[in-house]
Structure formats: C-alpha cells, structure tokens
Amino acid sequence: MQGLLLMILSWMRPLFRRLGADPDQVEAIVALKITLDNRRTYTAFGQQQHKQKDRSNSFWLMLLLYAFMGSFGCVVLIGVYNQAPIYALSFSFAIPMLLIGMALISDFSSVLLDSSDNAIILPCPVNGRTLLIARITHICLYLLLMSMAASIASAVVIAIRFGIGYSLLYTVFMLLSALLIIFLTSLLYLLLMRFTSEEKLREAIMYVQIIVAIFFYAGYQVLPRMISATDNLIQLSVQWWHYLLPPVWFGGAMEAFLTPVFDPLHLSLLALAVLTPFVGLWVTVSYLTPLYNQRIASIDVDARPQHSGTIQPETASRSDQLAQWFTGSPLEAAGFALTWRIMLRDRQFKLRAYPSIGYMIVLFFMFVWRTGGSLDDGDIGTSFASVLPLYFCTLLLGNAISLLRYSDQHKAAWVFVSTPLEEPGQVMLGAVKAAIIQLLLPVQVVVSAYVLYVGGIKSLDDVLLTTFVNISIAFLYAIGNGYFLPFSSPVGEMTKGANVARTLVIMMMVAVLGAMHWGLSKLPYGVWAGIPVMAGIAYVLLLRIRNADREKFTVS
Amino acid sequence: MTPVIELQQLEKYYGSTHILKGIDLSVSAGQVIGYIGPNGAGKSTTIKILIGLIPDFLGQASVLGMDVRKDALEIKRRIGYVPELASLYDSLTPLEYLQFIGKLHKLDPAMVERRTMDLLRLFNLEGNASDRMTTFSKGMRQKVLLISGLFHNPDVVFLDEPLSGLDANAVVLVKEIIRQLADSGKTIFYSSHIMDVVERISDRIVIINQGQIIANGSFEELKELRTSGSLEQLFTQLTGNDEQASIAGAFVQTINQ
C-alpha cells in the first residue's frame, strides 16, 4: 500500500518541480508523514485506552472502518432511491462528508497544528514552499483515500444499478465534496484560532473527538435500526432549507444526471456542487493558508505562560466547598478535591471517560425510543421497565471509577509515598465520592426526573432504591478492581483481561439486585422496605473503603 | 578574515513585546561562543534568527558571509542545529529519523546509514537503533538530536542547551566533542544555563539580558568587570539579581515559622 502511494508520488515529481518544490524532499516528507499516520492512534477506534505495543497499520485499519461506516450510506441508497432519489443520494454524500469533516477536525488536527514540523524540518535546508507542497500533498492523499473508502460502497451500488460511467461521475462529485469539506474545516479552524487561544483550541478539539466517538457508537446503534424502519419513514418531501445543505447540492447534481433532469433547480444545484469547491479552494489557497501559517507560527509564542495577574480562588474554593459538604475528614476532602479537579481538567481523562458517558446517553435514548410510550399502561411487569434506565447509570459509572486509578502523570503519585499517609482509604473514598458526585449524580438526577415524569410520584420508591443501588455498585467497582490511590497507575497498565472478569461479576450482581427490585415491586411497600437495607449495604461498603488497610494500597 | 557570524543592530518584536533590542555581535571561525542569559532574555530567538527560522527581524544578520534573509537555504546546508526541548518524531526509530534528516540534507543514504550506525555506537545507542523513540529517555533523545545536528559535518553548530538529560559521562563526552570540533576550525554557538560548563568550554562568553548584550569577552576579561570568582556569581551580579542570598534567607525563615 505504502509502495503504491510512493509510486503515485513519483508520477507527480514534474508537477512538484514546476510548483517550485524539491521533489526528493517532498517525497521524503510525505513518506515520513504516512509512516507517522500509520503509527498514530485514531479517535475513531476509541483506542486511547491502551497503548498497544507498536502500531504500524492503524491508518489502513481506519480506512476499513470508514468503508464500513460509509456503507450505511449505500444501504439508504438502495432502500430509498425509488421513493426519493435526491434524498437517498444526498444521504449517501452526507455520510462520507460528515466522516471526513470530523476526521479532519479530530484526528488530523494533530497534524495540522503540529508545530514540530517547523522545529524539525525547517532547520534543514528545505525551503518553505517545499514544506507547504509536501503538507498539501499529504493532506490531499489522506483525504483522497478517506473519501474513497467512505464512498466505495455507494459507488459500487451506483455502478451496478446505473453503470460504471455514473459511478465514476459519482466519485468525481465525491472528490469535489471532499474539497468543499477542506474549505469548510479550515474556515472553522481559523475562526476557532481567531477567537481562542491554542489551549482553548485543543480543548475544543477534544470535545469534537469525544463527539466523534459517540457519533460512531450511535451510528452503530441507530443506523441498522433506522434502515429497517425506512419503509414507512420515507414520506419526506424536500423542504426549501434543504437546499442550503451542501450534501443536497451533490445529491441534486447526481440526480440531474441519473434521472436525467435538467430543470433550473437541478442546474443550480449542479452549479453549486461544481463551483463552490473551486471557489473554496481558491479562497483557501489565496487567503486562508497565509493567515493560517501565520497563526501556526505564533502558536509557539502564545504557548508561553503569561501572568494573568490575579490568581482566581473562586473555582478553587468551589471544589473545596463541595469536598467539605460530602466528606468527613481533611484527608478524604483532599482526595475528593484532587480527583474533582483532575477529572475536570485532565484532557486525557476526559477523552477516556466522556465517550462512555455519551454511549450511555445513546443507549438511554435507544431504550426510550424503542419502548416508546408503552411504559405507563398495562400490568406491573411493563411499568417496572420504566425503572430500567436507572440501572444504566451503573454501566456508566463502572468505567469511570475504574479509570480513576490511571493517569498519564502517574509518577506524580510519589507524593502519596513520600508523605506520612496513614489512612490511604480515606483518600480513595474521597476520590470515589468525587466521581460519584461529578459523573453519576447529574445522570441519576436526569434519569430519575424522566422516570418520575413517566411513572408519576409512585415511582419515587424506585428512584430512591436505585440511587442506593448505584452508589453501592460504585463502591463495588472501586473495591472490586483493587484498592487504589487516585491517578497512581500508568495508563499502559490498563489491561482489559483481569478487569473483564470482575466487571462481569459486578454486572451479574446488578442483575440480581435488579431482579430483587422487581420482586419487591410486586409486594406492597416492598420497595420502600428495600431502601434502608440498600442504604445499609452502601454504608458498609463505604466503611470498607475508608478503613482499608494501608498494605492493600500500592503505588507503582 | 570575514567573521563567521555577524549581527548588526538585531531587533525583534513578538507582537508588541520587544524581545531583542539591538544585538551587535561578531564571531570568528574556530571559536566556542557561550551565549547565556536568564529565561526570556532572547537567547533562543537569536539562534532561531541565525538559522533562518525567523525571517522577519530588524537589522542585519549573516552567517558564513551570507545574508540570513536571502541565503537561508544555503546557510542551513552548512550549519547544524540542536534545539532545546527535544522535539522529534518519536514514533520513528533513530535510524528512520536520521535517515529522514539525511534525505532532507540530500546526503547519500548509504553514507548516512554507515555514519549513523557509527555515531549511535559511539553514543552507546546501537542496541536501540531500531526501537521507536517513544520509549527513549530524555538523554537518549538528546543524543539522537546531537547526531542529527552534526552528522552532515556542518561548519557552524548552534547548540541550545545540548547537555539536558545527559548523564555525567555523556556530558564529559559531549564537552570534549565540542572542544575538538572547535579545534578543527568549526564555530560553535552554545547556549545554556549551566554556568560552569559554559565557563569551561567557551572561548568567549556573551551575556544577554532583556534583549541586550551586557557583557562580551573571554572569561578572564569578564572577571575583570567584577571581583567575583565564578561565572555563576558574575552572571547573577550582571543580570541584576544579586539579592539571591537575602531571598534565600527569607525562604528559610518562612519555613521555620
């Protein structure tokens, strides 16, 4: 594969020379970039978790994933084309465009924002033009391969149905749409860079990465079901505002050729589809790139810490305030405040923890969608179903709690060893409490509100009981994976195997508790009776953590 | 003889910050120049201008008789640069990395491989030649960077804090390499915070503070400026921080309270 790319590059040598770049150096830089791409981890895999030994094919694997995701577009194309061709075609453009756009923002941002190019390559005898051409070539190759991967399924469908010529036309439109996406993304980047600092920009990118991960997950969950529902779904008429969406331009342009129909509407869509990418390209090259390079160059300078004058104690005291409310000793408060702050600030922690929160939200909506309004009528069995979402919170928490022990800066945990820490259990309890309150509580409140809304005030007992169940499960997760001090283990140790077994055991306990909950709901006031028992269990578990032996804690 | 490095009224602004406020400096071949100053004094900026990374500055800068603005490419071909804060592509192996840098310098790949392996062996890294640098310690990365800045046999070498992370033996080795490079007629522009190293290896010491040169001469000449014994003491006196002893006193007192 890499050989093939390099062959393509060698055909382009005269072009490079014409553009004023040095072909040998362009080739060397692009080859280097491809190697680096293949050794990077991609957000789309959700793989930050565990650094595998040496990845050397991750880029090709990612292309496969994109081909798979793109194939959803072709399913819609097959299913819906007869009823609403423009809708089907637009959809088949929309998916690859979305994929490319998000990939550009999330994974490629590290490449675009990489100032190490400047530090490493520019001190060598390479002129700025060569580096620029190499960068553009690399980005184009990357996008070319990705848009090809994401649209290959649809292209094949079109080839079978309308012939190979139309398939080629489709591919041309696909490439045009990729060009348009580059323009739109660089516009977005420049806006972000214009109005925020580099640190904020990285923060914004992190959230995009999290959304990408959730989007992929939701895609897996929702799309297959949507397709089974498409038969009766498609009464869609095209609204006027649909013409503002870029995928519809391409869908319309393609429809014009396939039908064929060349009325003013389709001609204008075709014009938009063909012209906007080139206008965008021209604007990008002549206006945005210089601006962009200027900003990149100044990133190194911006990165220098600047004295912001006054230190702001407000946020600091807020975590301390919360720690005071929810903890019983200074040591516990220290663990709470540390964990609370790191969970809010550590980008890597967020990248690991937030997607799974998003997954839970997706699962929750799937549940609500599929059960629909059938919850509140009928016998007690279905009304119990309305309680089930409350147990989703547990799934969410399990992952977050097991993440509490890991950090990229685990070495900083030497402070736990160098200080005369007599009761590390209190630090751990503080940490677990911080996670419960920061991550579980909001979700629990929202889901409880939903359950109370659906089930009425008579569901209050269920809500209270599950609250204590979830808290107990949180403690169980904390104990089950071994006593720990917050953020003290290297991320690399995050081995799945051992934890899976424990997690399964805990999940089974959740199931048992759920079954008992269901049993109690059959008895009058049964659930109310269960509440103090569950609260008692939670308290016992809390004590076990707080009073755990010093010897049980290890700091690597 | 034309000077190897020449700066005339060099000024640089970052936005509204005046980083360099008129630097005049002339360096002749075969010298080791120790370029020192407190953080933010403009050391790295000076080096970046000299190697052609920052083209927009005021005044004149030339290296090997060539104008930095006009002949940046030709200058880069004949200089070596070892940056501070090891930035390198660490998912590559040292061999891959150095071959890449070799290609950018348009060196013969076979020669690069031979020379790289020899140099890695001399630095005790031949066993790691094919390991990805993600696992490397700071000292190991620094050695790779030193090789990448020197293996094309440059006439002028710019070193920005080149000893960081190296162990004591490697420090001795690199100091000796610097000395012998200078003796063979190469010019070394050396920037560091470690005063006693600068004191020992430099033929000439240039101290800058707040974008201006405040001392320039051999260590012996500088010593005549003040009565203090070591470069370190001289440095703190010249850069206006001779209250260190009283600050230390206050520090200890605060702990004892």
Mean pLDDT over A394-413 rounds to: 80
Mean pLDDT over A334-338 rounds to: 89
Residue in chain A lying closest to B109 (CA): A28
Q: How is the beta sheet containing B212-217 ordered, strand by strand? A: B79-82, B156-160, B187-191, B32-36, B204-209, B212-217
Residues 6+ apart with CB under 8 A from A532: none
The answer to whether B47 contacts chain A (CB < 8 Å) is no
A88 has pLDDT over 90: no
Q: How is the beta sheet containing B58-63 ordered, strand by strand? A: B17-27, B5-14, B58-63, B66-67
Query: Are the beta carbons of A141 and A30 closer than 8 angstroms?
Result: yes
Chain B residues within 8 A of A35 when measuring between CB atoms = 91-92, 96
Residue A282, class by beta-carbon neighbours within 10 Å (0-12 exposed, 13-18 middle, 19+ buried)? exposed
Chain B residues within 8 A of A301 when measuring between CB atoms = 14-15
Q: Provide the H-helix boundaries in A312-423.
A: 313-326, 330-345, 347-371, 380-385, 388-403, 414-418
The residue with greater pLDDT, B218 or B33, is: B33
Chain A residues within 8 A of B15 when measuring between CB atoms = 301
- Between chains, do B53 and A122 touch, taking CB under 8 Å as contact? yes
The answer to whether A118 contacts chain B (CB < 8 Å) is yes
The answer to whether A288 contacts chain B (CB < 8 Å) is no
The answer to whether B77 contacts chain A (CB < 8 Å) is yes
The answer to whether A56 contacts chain B (CB < 8 Å) is no
B163 has pLDDT over 50: yes
Instruction: Please report how the helices B109-122 and B138-150 are oriented relative to each other, as an axis angle in degrees rounded to 10.
Output: 140
B79 has pLDDT over 70: yes
Backbone angles phi, psi at A350, to 5 degrees: -60, -45
- Nearest by CB to residue B14, choosing from A32, A122, A301, is A301
Chain A residues within 8 A of B76 when measuring between CB atoms = 123-126
The residue with greater pLDDT, A40 or A95, is: A95
Mean pLDDT over A411-426 rounds to: 83
- Nearest by CB to residue A119, choosing from B83, B105, B106, is B83
- Nearest by CB to residue A36, choosing from B81, B83, B89, is B89
Mean pLDDT over A277-292 rounds to: 76
Q: Burial code of A124-160, b = ≥16 C-beta within 10 A, e = fewer?
A: bbbbeebbbbbbbbbbebbbebbbbbbbbbbbebbbe
Rg of chain B, C-alpha, whole Å: 19
pLDDT in tens, A489-548: 877 666 555 566 777 787 788 888 888 888 888 888 888 888 999 999 999 999 999 888
- Between chains, do A126 and B104 touch, taking CB under 8 Å as contact? yes
The answer to whether B71 contacts chain A (CB < 8 Å) is no
The answer to whether A126 contacts chain B (CB < 8 Å) is yes
The answer to whether B89 contacts chain A (CB < 8 Å) is yes
pLDDT band at A477 (very low <50, low <70, confident <90, very high): confident
A220 has pLDDT over 60: yes
Map residue A483 onto helix, strand or coil.
Answer: coil
Give A115 to chain B, closest Cα distance, Å.
9
pLDDT in tens, B80-134: 998 876 678 888 899 989 999 998 888 898 999 999 999 999 999 988 888 888 8
- Between chains, do B89 and A40 touch, taking CB under 8 Å as contact? no
- Nearest by CB to residue A24, choosing from B53, B72, B106, is B106
CA–CA separation, A228 and A232 (whole Å) = 9
- What domains are defined for chain B? 5-256 (3.40.50.300)
pLDDT in tens, A161-209: 888 888 888 888 888 888 888 788 777 777 776 666 666 777 777 787 7
What ipTM does the predicted assembly reach? 0.79
- Between chains, do B87 and A116 touch, taking CB under 8 Å as contact? yes
Strongest mean pLDDT among A227-236, A413-422, B105-114 = B105-114
Mean pLDDT (chain B) is: 86
- Between chains, do A125 and B132 touch, taking CB under 8 Å as contact? no
Residue in chain A lying closest to B13 (CA): A301
Give A302 to chain B, closest Cα distance, Å.
10
